[in-house]
Amino acid sequence: MINQSELWMDKTVCADAVLRFLDKLPESKTALHALQIYRHGKLMLSMAPKPYSVSDTMQLYSLSKSFSSTAIGFLADDGVLTAEDRVIDIFKDQLPARLGRNMEHLRVKHLLSMNTGHAACCLPYIRRAAAPVTEFLNTDLDFMPGTHFTYNNAATYMLSEIVTHYTKKTMFDFLQERLFLPLGITNVYWDVFPSGRSQGAVGLHASVEDVAKLGLLYLNKGKWNGKQLLSEEWVAAASAPHSDNSGNGTKDWVAGYGYQFWINAREGYRGDGAFGQLSMIFPERDMVVAAKVCSDDMQTEIDLIYDLMDALCDQGTKTEADVLKKLDQYYPIPDEAPMADSLFDHLYHCSPNILGITSLALHRSADGISVTFSNGSCLQTMHFGIGAYQKSEITIRRLKPTLETLAGTDTPETIAFAAAAAGSKDGFAVSLYYLDNPHYETWEFCAGADGSEISWRRNGVTLLEGFLQ
């Protein structure tokens, strides 16, 4: 069971400012999962409303790109490559019969700065190819490299291929040695394409604590615990604007783009990922902000973070206890209500469905509900708390939210979540929060009129139907 939020505040932190931040987040359709703020190398604020934790390993989406940039930085520091190297010179053994238009002008720096010359992202096409590198080098560049910004996941994918070319290791294995282990990042993994190739652009799963560590490494100009892991020169290059991205979106997406880092409109720079995953570095303030959220409005999220930073050490009347109370109420546990008895202790046989489930059974106890399902070869059980959130893991095809399938794979994946159930008119509803990605959902298990049928709905859409035999 999960009944307690996580909170640590330095005594100088203004509780009033933190409460204002929490109160305003819903206005921007932003749901907080975890937040950490460091100043002068010292942890100032760490919080995660239940059922989340600052140690949860979650999908970073495009914040993964900043880690990929760091891998290239290590290679540059080692003298293996330079940002000026031509891409076709690196992959001489994988050149296509026909080289794409302007491809001979493409350099590593253009991959890093999203200045490849493509008019649109070409990763969906590239990743399906039998020889992705060759296929990439065959694509026509609509603009001369270095003259046109296009946010292109294929550019970052090619960075991962460069790492593998020189090191004979995947991006993950290389960073495991050079970055993750030195920084004490241990519970981390990176999704791969069905071919086994590293995604590079997305797919890294790490905690908000890990994201903060990346920010601190860059804030300290590549130094960690007194050791220079990454050169100051690379940090300066990565955090400097190399692209004119004006017209790309709102103010914090048009202020310039570095080497897989966004330049902030107000100050500093950041790595960011879809739905509000952030590692923000503010050299002027000697501050790092790491955030894991689910947001429909990342610009407002960033603006609220600025407001919090500005008022972080103001005077106020509220206390740490007030903040903890607010966090505990942030994701309210569904009110207990009667449940349809007819749903439980039966075996339902399922009609063909996208999840591949052939049968399921539901059981209820004093403190929770378990759902055991079969795919015809194995049994698995998921658990929902009653009156409290309960953590659970399952391995099931095609259940992760849509953007979690960017790898293009249909292989089963372990899904971690916390969930609480409450009775509804014809069954029960489940408030479910994924712990390995930013998303949350409502599930419903509903009985038919005579109790002989059951339906499982996900955000109002029927996933499967079962029948008694």
Among 166, 174, 94, residue whose Cα is nearest residue 135:
94
Local confidence band at 376 (pLDDT 50, 70, 90 cut-offs): confident
CATH fold of 60-263: Beta-lactamase (3.40.710)
Locate the domains of the chain by residue range. Answer: 60-263, 341-467
CATH topology of domain 341-467: Lipocalin (2.40.128)
How is residue 54 annotated by DSSP?
Answer: T
Percent of the chain clearing pLDDT 70 (strictly above): 97
pLDDT confidence of residue 449: 72
In the predicted model, what is the mean pLDDT of the chain? 93
367: DSSP letter: S
- Spatial distance between the Cα atoms of 251 and 264, rounded to a whole number of angstroms: 8
Q: pTM of the full predicted structure?
A: 0.94
Q: Is the model's pLDDT at 413 over the cut of 80?
A: no
* DSSP-derived secondary structure letter, 252: G
Of 260, 214, 215, nearest in space to 241 by CA: 260
The pLDDT of residue 115 is above 80:
yes
- State the burial class of residue 246 (Cβ atoms within 10 Å of its Cβ: 0-12, 13-18, 19+): exposed
107 φψ region: left (φ > 0), alpha (ψ -120 to 50), beta (else): beta
| Segment 267-271 long-range contacts (CB within 8 Å, at least 24 positions apart) | 269/239, 271/62, 271/63, 271/65, 271/66, 271/67, 271/211, 271/214, 271/215
Residues 6 or more apart whose Cβ sits within 8 Å of residue 190: 64, 170, 171, 172, 198, 199, 203, 204, 205
Q: Which two tokens stand for residue 249?
A: 């979106």
Instruction: Give every CB contact of residue 281 below 8 A, 6+ residues apart in sequence.
Output: 215, 218, 219, 239, 268, 269, 270, 288
Give the pLDDT score at 410. 44
412: confidence class by pLDDT, cuts 50, 70, 90: low
Question: Can you tell me the distance from the alpha carbon of 321 to that of 387, in angstroms, rounded to the nearest whole number?
Answer: 22
Return the minimum-mean-pLDDT range out of 100-109, 188-197, 371-380, 414-423. 188-197
pLDDT tens figures, 8-50? 999 999 999 999 999 999 888 899 999 999 999 999 999 999 9
Q: What is the pLDDT of residue 404?
A: 52
Query: How far apart (Å, rounded) are the C-alpha atoms in residues 462 and 465?
Result: 8
